Structure 1
């Protein structure tokens, strides 16, 4: 094989080699983007779960006060609890919501508005008012429970997507490494091969 032919072979294989390296770098870059995106989404789920937990605590405070007919709570602490709930809702608005979650969240906000309206109607808690408020609190607890389930489901989906992406990138990386090794061996054979000329 002449030097010119060897150079053609080497050039052809080097082009394939460069293409595989470029593909590998692109795959790696895409994987990094997907991983970062999934981590961000998952963090939104964790943040949302924490906000739901805090909302549950605030609603529980209201429930205890109504059951105990604690009028001092409504005079002294209820406005502080309501402000805390509003700040939690504002932070929850910043997270990414799925369609299902958005529907539940809208229902939660509606139930919260109804509860606050009931609380503002009358500072003295009579039996009728107490039952209405407890019914709204039960609705809120149900909304919060549904939102918690959504966080868990969506977090699991994102982890599954992340695992699949990682497995795919790992497979292609291994495949490309094998191809590169084979190409390197072929290049070495072409460079080293020197057939004896017959006289």
Structure 2
């Protein structure tokens, strides 16, 4: 499956790859909507979990996201590049991309993924279920134990921040901070695979 995924990614043009990424995020957004109807009484109850005016919560998200980014850089400096080799997919997604591309992709991923995994799944089924499913969705990391463990730990950290703040916006900001910083870092370097996003 890993080699098949890499082969598919290599065959896609940059435009097709970008379209596929956004379509996958749209699918997660739609699943969050369906989940909100099935388990939460509708999207209104799901979106009520987001409070953008809570400056303290947003600062928690930014700070936690920054520390995860620094920890990722530290581990990348210690471990061999092969530990982070996801088949070159992250490099393909981010290499030589403009800032607005990285920001848009990070925003889409943070919003759609956290809406589903923390907003619906954690709220209804608990942190462990949300964290495990989040990690499994990032299928390209299942073959690299470092990436798998890091993604699982970060997912539990997302869950912890959500549980502590009760604010989905804080987790979205945290997820966005991690992805945008790693994306910008990877857009300007030539490290195969390069890190977890």
Q: Going by fraction, where is helix more abundant, 1 or 2?
A: 1
TM-score for the superposition, normalised by structure 2? 0.29
Greater C-alpha radius of gyration: 1
Higher relative contact order (CA 8 A, sep 6+): 1
Task: Compute the TM-score of the two structures, normalised by the length of structure 1.
Answer: 0.29
